[in-house]
Amino acid sequence: MRVAVVVFPGTNCEHDTIRALRNLGADADLVWHREDDLSEFDGAVLPGGFAHGDYLRTGAIARFSPVMTEVTRMAGEGRPVLGICNGFQILTEAGLLPGALIANRDLRFICRFVEVEVVDTGSVLTAAAEVGQRLWIPLNSYEGNWVDPSMAGRVILRYVDDPNGAQDRSAGIANQAGNVAGIMPHPERASERVLGSEDGNILLEGFISSLVTSK
């Protein structure tokens, strides 16, 4: 079971993400955004950062990188696709997840641990978690305020407090099938005791186990 960790120009969380995935036993490899063949992979993760400088809108330019054609194919085939922070923004711009992410309500870059509650376990990200479970994970974003006028989003994780004004206090959402998920906090930054929390592993384990079942 191989998972592609996609690197755009400006991505900066790929090494943390790949380390966290490998620590949990996943066969994960970095893939440059110009790659146009992901047939060797069973799933994809779009890590955090500032793809293409976040110019125009976060994720707006990244969604046209060649690799996104393959990510879109995988999403359509029901394979697990996960976007973390900037990766989440890219998935909304690509139309693989509903809504969009706008500037935080208080116009501050938020950089702190937040508590999120699992509200739906029917997604690749929450498959190993339990409804009501609370996780302690760092949030590091300026455009983390998720809005969805269509109300089509399936909320899978909700902030316990309301750090950024996101609609329905959404910290993570999924598509209706549950195989595409986006999360604004960083599970890979809560994956080892030395980081202050290992709660992110519950989410990453769910994602890794979904790679097997999607085959």
Q: Which residues are catalytic?
A: 85, 186, 188
Whole-angstrom Cα distance, residue 161 to residue 126?
A: 20
> What are φ and ψ of residue 117, in 5° steps?
-115, 135
From residue 56 to residue 85, the character string flagging contacts with other proteins as x (rule: CB under 8 A) and all else as - is: xx--xx--x---------------------
Interface stretch with other proteins, choices 13-21, 100-108, 127-135, 184-192 (CB under 8 A): 100-108
Q: Using the rule CB under 8 A, is 111 a contact of other proteins?
A: no
Among 24, 30, 102, 195, binds other proteins (CB under 8 A): 102
From residue 16 to residue 55, the character string flagging contacts with other proteins as x (rule: CB under 8 A) and all else as - is: ----------------------------------------
Interface stretch with other proteins, choices 65-73, 114-122, 140-148, 202-210 (CB under 8 A): 140-148
Q: Using the rule CB under 8 A, is 148 a contact of other proteins?
A: yes
Among 24, 147, 160, 195, binds other proteins (CB under 8 A): 147
Torsion of CA 55, 56, 60, 66, to 10 degrees: -60
| Residues paired with residue 100 on neighbouring β-strands, in sequence order | 147
Whole-angstrom Cα distance, residue 62 to residue 39?
A: 20
Nearer to other proteins, 41 or 142 (CB): 142
The β-bridge relationship of strands 2-7 and 43-46 is parallel
Close Cβ partners of 183 (under 8 Å, ≥ 6 residues apart): 82, 83, 84, 85, 88, 125, 157, 171, 172, 203
Nearer to other proteins, 62 or 82 (CB): 62
Whole-angstrom Cα distance, residue 17 to residue 187?
A: 8
Count Cβ neighbours within 10 Å for each residue of 141-172 and write b for 16 or more, e otherwise: bbbbbbbbeeeebbbbbbbeeebbebeebbbb
Size of the site for other proteins (CB under 8 A): 22
Q: Using the rule CB under 8 A, is 99 a contact of other proteins?
A: yes
Chain position carrying tokens 């407090």: 161
- Shortest separation between residue 62's beta carbon and other proteins, angstroms: 11
What are the residues binding other proteins (CB under 8 A)? 56-57, 60-61, 64, 92-93, 98-100, 102-107, 145, 147-150, 165
